[in-house]
Copies of this chain bind each other. A is one copy, B any other.
Amino acid sequence: MADKVTIATVAAHANVSRQTVSNVLNTPHLVREETRERVREAIAALGYRANQAARLMRTGRSRLLAVRIEPTRDGINGSVLDRFLHGLTEAAAPAGYRILLYAAADDRAEIATYDDLLARYELDGFVLTSTHHGDVRTSWLAERGVPFVTFGRPWGAPDSHPWVDVDNAAGTAAATRHLREAGHRRIGFIGWPAGSGVGDERRSGWANTAGPDHADLDRATVDGVVEGEAAARDLLSISDPPTALVCASDSLAVGAYTVASPGVAIAGFDDTPVARVLGLTSVAQPLAEAAARCVDLLAGVLDGGTAPRPVLLEPSLVIRQSA
């Protein structure tokens, strides 16, 4: 076990006081050039790294960010979170932050976890995903002045906190436009029940692009493959049925794909591995970039004190043989 090298070790090695070393680290402009260099060499030679715990006790900053890891539901859309987490971890490191994971069964449990994490580990900030209307988590954090960013805009109170989001409506609009350009005139939509911000966005992108007479081509259901099957069967059995379907998720799209006859075009959302394997056209979110922007925003609040502006990213349509 290598001996612990502290600021005192460095000071001794460079023939200065502990304070000077600290100054080189935190306020280098206060230290004479020559001394600064000597200290820096000692730091490099000894491989010194400031101990976070000690630093935290003085500064109150842990350089730790927390994010929730959700249980994988049907796993199809689960890979989205996976890629987002990886992006967060990669973006946080160069900014001097680390990512702490926590699990929570529901919003209430999540708040209890915030409380615990804050009290014990003094986390610097949180990244929230899956935001929704009347989200109690954001108000809890905001009330206590805890820095956080959401991936997903604040539904309801506009811009009440920093957020990063993907333009969901633009995604389904692009899919719908692509289908129209392919000659489809009756384009249906399978989405989630109204009320979920993301779901409503995705529906509106389709509704605004599909054309005027689409009211009877809209179906709402909870997410899932079998649910997608049922909705597609229903939609395709009406008189003058749609020849193409836009779906709010790949799970729904997979279901629709399995029951639709080959002539019917299908587009999903999230560009999951399943879509890739099945050859399903799907809307891809720039997850790595979204994660990086979340870190940027949080780091801005924490380090710069800047009031960060919301970020809206454009999704892209990945075209495959299904549409």
| Cα of A254 to Cα of B275 in the assembled complex, Å | 13
Given the interface pairs A76-B277, A83-B72, A276-B75, the reply to whether A102 lies near B120 with Cβ below 8 Å is no
A75-117 CB contact bits vs B (8 Å, 1 = yes)? Answer: 1101101110110111001000011111100000000000111
- Asked if A19 CB lies within 8 Å of chain B CBs, one says no
Contact segment of A7-15, A46-54, A171-179, A299-307: A46-54
Q: Is the CB of B76 within 8 A of A72?
A: no
- Asked if A272 CB lies within 8 Å of chain B CBs, one says yes
| Cα of A99 to Cα of B2 in the assembled complex, Å | 24
Q: Is the CB of B53 within 8 A of A122?
A: yes
The contact size tier of chain A is 35 or more
For residue A2, which residue of chain B has the nearest CB? Answer: B144
Q: Is the CB of B121 within 8 A of A75?
A: no
Q: Is the CB of B101 within 8 A of A99?
A: yes
Q: Is the CB of B277 within 8 A of A225?
A: yes
| Cα of A49 to Cα of B278 in the assembled complex, Å | 50
For residue A117, which residue of chain B has the nearest CB? Answer: B98
Provide the residues of chain B in CB contact with A93, threshold 8 Å.
Answer: 102-103
| Cα of A102 to Cα of B89 in the assembled complex, Å | 6
| Cα of A89 to Cα of B101 in the assembled complex, Å | 7
Q: Is the CB of B119 within 8 A of A49?
A: yes
Given the interface pairs A54-B57, A62-B53, A254-B277, the reply to whether A99 lies near B98 with Cβ below 8 Å is no
- Asked if A74 CB lies within 8 Å of chain B CBs, one says yes
Provide the residues of chain B in CB contact with A98, threshold 8 Å.
Answer: 100-102, 117, 121
How far in angstroms is the closest Cβ of chain B from A46?
11
Provide the residues of chain B in CB contact with A70, threshold 8 Å.
Answer: 86
Provide the residues of chain B in CB contact with A90, threshold 8 Å.
Answer: 103
- Asked if A156 CB lies within 8 Å of chain B CBs, one says no
Q: Is the CB of A86 within 8 A of B99?
A: no
| B-facing residues in A47-72 (Cβ within 8 Å) | 47, 49-54, 56-57, 62, 64, 69-72
Given A53-B62, A78-B79: 7 more A-B contacts, CB < 8 Å: A47-B115, A52-B122, A53-B121, A74-B273, A82-B82, A274-B274, A274-B277
